[in-house]
Amino acid sequence: MTTASTPELEADRQALIGLINEEAVFHGDFTLSSGKKATYYVDMRKLTLDHRAAPAIGRLVLDLVKDLDGVVAVGGLTLGADPIANAVMHESVHAGTPLDAFVVRKEPKDHGRGRQIEGADVKGKRVVVVEDTSTTGQSALKAVEALRREGAEVVAVAVIVDRKTGAQAAIEAEGLQWLASIDLDDLGLAPQ
């Protein structure tokens, strides 16, 4: 089990755990983006786009990355990372430690400026990739690859929910720090 750095943030974390358990954990037969089968699905997009949860998500992810020196922006592979990066950006301004946000397209645009990364300029900058939840880490690593091609220094991957299914090992194998706010123990779920 993890905890947040202050009692106020821990209260946010506990409230978010409650919302996840009440509204974002679905039981049944599911196929995850990794192709793996699961008997439950944690649909964090339901909450990353919810006014009750988004501010707490921003504060909690900001808390995860606060001790990483020189980080100037957060973001990740569209679509899952977009509302998280936006929430972190807004909460960072409130906290007096502003961070910018970026979006990593799945493929570079074939028109206009042909960019794959939109938003903050990442070249030569220290950044963190964010995700709602991760099974194998492959979505985050796709974002990391694109960011590295653009000259960014990716220092960590921060997720809201750690599914405990190998993503951490994959991320750490790339020399990146793994940060998670909530894990399956917090949700009373077993790894699958």
Q: What are the φ and ψ backbone dihedral angles of 121, each rounded to 5 degrees? A: -70, 125
Q: Give the annotated binding-site residues for orotate.
A: 135, 163
Could you tell me which residues are annotated as the binding site? 105-106, 109, 111, 131-139, 163
CB neighbours of 100 closer than 8 A, spacing ≥ 6?
A: 72, 73, 74, 89, 119, 120
Q: What are the tokens at 136?
A: 């194998």
Question: Backbone phi, then psi, for 7, in 5-degree steps?
Answer: -60, -35
Query: Residues within the annotated binding site for 5-phospho-alpha-D-ribose 1-diphosphate?
Result: 105-106, 109, 111, 131-139
Q: Classify residue 152 as exposed, middle or buried by CB count within 10 Å of its CB (0-12, 13-18, 19+).
A: buried
